[in-house]
Amino acid sequence: MVMIYLRLYQQLYSYATHGNTNGFHDTIEKKLQDPNARVQLLSRRSPQNNTFVHIAVSSGHAELAAEILQQHKPLLLEKNFEGDTALHIAAKSRDIVTTTNTLLREARGTTDVENNGDILTLLRMKNNEENTALHEALIQVTNQYQVFDRGRFLPFHFTLTRNKVPFVSGR
């Protein structure tokens, strides 16, 4: 039985990295009829402590991450070894807007109208560098600009932390 789950995990891992939403969904539906076994497999971690949601997001497959979250919503609040949730990884990605919007749409589905606790918890969660996902998004966006200071270009956020008014140039 352990070998079957290992093969399923490897197959799902491949689907998550390649964005194969149909393959992921079909494998879960056809090979994991027992809801407990499904949750157990979806909750497995990579050697870096990433969930399938982390893997799909870091590979640029936000819609697959949303599909996985529909199967097991608590994965949205899980952290990897760097303390990053899937939202932190989304905030660090090249397609910040689409990825974060997709995850936040799924997060809204984790709570009822009376209680926004899960969304607030997710937005307040800090990684090992003490950054929330919003901090990571701002760092990602500001790293796209350079600041000319004393004859050299510096990352934009570096200058902002020193309260200087810089000359800004796009990369």
Q: What is the pTM of this model?
A: 0.75
| pLDDT classification of 165: cutoffs 50, 70, 90 | very low
CATH fold group of domain 2-131: 1.25.40
Give residue-wise pLDDT tens across range 144-153. 655 555 565 5
Domain boundaries, the chain: 2-131, 142-171
Predicted confidence at residue 166, as pLDDT, reads: 45
Give residue-wise pLDDT tens across range 8-17. 999 999 999 9
- Greatest mean pLDDT among 25-34, 73-82, 155-164 lies in 73-82
Q: What is the DSSP string of the chain?
A: -HHHHHHHHHHHHHHHHHT-HHHHHHHHHHH--SHHHHHHHHT---TT---HHHHHHHTT-HHHHHHHHHH-GGGGG---TTS--HHHHHHTSS-HHHHHHHHHHHHHTTS-TT--HHHHHHHH---TTS--HHHHHHHHHHTTEEEEETTEEEEHHHHHTTT--PEEEE-
Give residue-wise pLDDT tens across range 47-66. 999 999 999 999 999 889 98
Q: What mean pLDDT do residues 33-44 have?
A: 89
Give residue-wise pLDDT tens across range 66-91. 899 888 888 989 999 999 999 999 88
